[in-house]
Amino acid sequence: MNKIVTLDEFIIRTQKEKPDSSGSFTRLLRDIGIAAKIVNREVNKAGLVNILGVEGSTNSTGDDVQKLDVFANEKFIETLSFSGEVCGIASEENQEFIPVASDHGHNAQYVVVMDPLDGSSNIDVNVSVGTIFGIFRRKSSVEGPCIQEDFLQKGTELIAAGYVLYGTSTLLVYSTGDGVNGFTLDPSIGEFCLSHRNIQMPVSGNYYSVNQGYYLKFDLEMRRYIDHCSDLNYRLRYIGSMVSDIHRIMFQGGIFLYPNTRKYPKGKLRLLYECYPMAYIVEQAGGTALTCKLDRIMDMEIASLHQTSSIVMGSKDMVKDMKEFVEKYGAVIQ
Ligand code: P6P
């Protein structure tokens, strides 16, 4: 029987392999795991306590804020703020970034960007949801508070990213730039345990994931590619939770698309705390992540915390196939 490798043990072991590791990054990753366990506990019993339903406000994109969104956001902010390693947090749930008080964030080297509970419209119907996070090294001096520029960094500046999937089991998947590993929460011991070592995305597949309901609102080249997927009898899987839809593709191959529409001319998904971290993970697993205009997501310039982007990500051969449709139909006057 293989020895159980807990998340903490794995983090410490891999950080020791990095000579410049000071241990502060280790503590930060471990704190993310702790916050995920706290959120998982509430997600799993949401139906039993008055934490379901709409909280009554809307977020930066106009989505209804769910009570569990607020809980998850508060728990991640609380845990990360007390880690002593974070000088600021940018969250989908907060219009502005959250500076961490100097007694906790002083000399802290990192900022965290996150969607604390992605796909939360699925909560009330018991469909899986997720947390998405990314970690940047701050640009500003450790002597002062964090500033907006600490967050407005391109995806290529990420030093780590990951997601937590609260599904049939609870999985934490992350990368620090040397491949992707997955850890399944064992409730009997309250530990995330290494369950998926060095995840490699299949180079192709037969799943495509897109909100077909917006088909007529997509640009011609996207409609032609979606028709192509249908002609090839690919299987459509879309549950409206980016983490869940992409997690499937990480293991079974496929392509996820959220193109720009007339309602979202620049795309709906947020570049900083949805697209960049998920693109980081997808690329680390051997996949490709582009905008629908074929720019690499990780290279996209960012000018505001809640900036959106179109996105296509998944198996590299399928994204390559999609590129041919954009090149063929993208120039066509629509
Ligand atoms: P739509 C959830 O609100 C989210 O941000 C992603 O997790 C998901 O992929 C997308 O939006 C779903 O959006 O417009 O298809 O409901």
Report which of 117, 167, 161 is spatially closest to residue 282, judged by C-alpha positions.
161
State the pLDDT at residue 42.
86
State the pLDDT at residue 138.
95
Q: Which atom of ligand 1 is nearest to the CA of 258?
A: 9
What pLDDT digit, counting tens, does each position of 109-138 carry? Answer: 999 999 999 997 888 788 999 999 999 999
Annotate 26-42 with DSSP letters as a single string. Answer: HHHHHHHHHHHHHHHHH
242's enclosing H/E stretch is: helix 242-252
Distance of alpha carbon 134 from its chain centroid, rounded?
Answer: 7
Q: Provide the pLDDT confidence category of residue 43 given band limits of 50, 70 and 90.
A: confident
State the pLDDT at residue 129.
94
What pLDDT digit, counting tens, does each position of 252-261 carry? Answer: 999 999 999 9
Choosing from 80, 117, 158, 165, the catalytic residue is 117
Instruction: Choose between 107 and 180: higher pLDDT.
Output: 180
State the pLDDT at residue 67.
80
Calpha distance 140→151 (Å, rounded): 10
What b/e sequence results for 249-281 when a residue is b if at least 16 CB atoms lie within 10 Å of its CB, and e otherwise?
bbeebbbbbbbbbeebeebbbbbbbbbbbbbbb
69 is an active site residue: yes
Tell me phi and psi for residue 35, to 5 degrees: -60, -40
Parse the chain into domains and list their residue ranges.
7-196, 207-329
State the pLDDT at residue 61.
63
Identify the architecture of domain 207-329 in CATH: 3-Layer(aba) Sandwich (3.40)
| Ligand 1: centre distance to CA 260 (Å) | 13
Rounded to two decimals, the pTM is 0.94
Q: Is 180 helix (H, G, I), strand (E, B) or coil?
A: coil
- The answer to whether domain 7-196 has CATH 3.30.2350.10 is no
Q: Provide the pLDDT confidence category of residue 193 given band limits of 50, 70 and 90.
A: very high
What average pLDDT does range 284-305 have in this prediction?
Answer: 97
Q: Helix 316-329 vs helix 220-231: angle between axes, to the nearest 10 degrees?
A: 130
What pLDDT digit, counting tens, does each position of 303-334 carry? Answer: 999 999 999 999 999 999 999 999 999 865 55
**Angle (nearest 5°) at CA 254 between 250 and 259:** 105
| Ligand 1: centre distance to CA 258 (Å) | 8
Q: Provide the pLDDT confidence category of residue 105 given band limits of 50, 70 and 90.
A: low
Q: Which atom of ligand 1 is nearest to the CA of 243?
A: 7
Site residues for ligand 1, CB cut-off 6 Å: 63, 118-119, 121, 211, 240-242, 258, 268-269
Choosing from 42, 118, 150, 221, the catalytic residue is 118
Calpha distance 26→8 (Å, rounded): 8
State the pLDDT at residue 102.
67
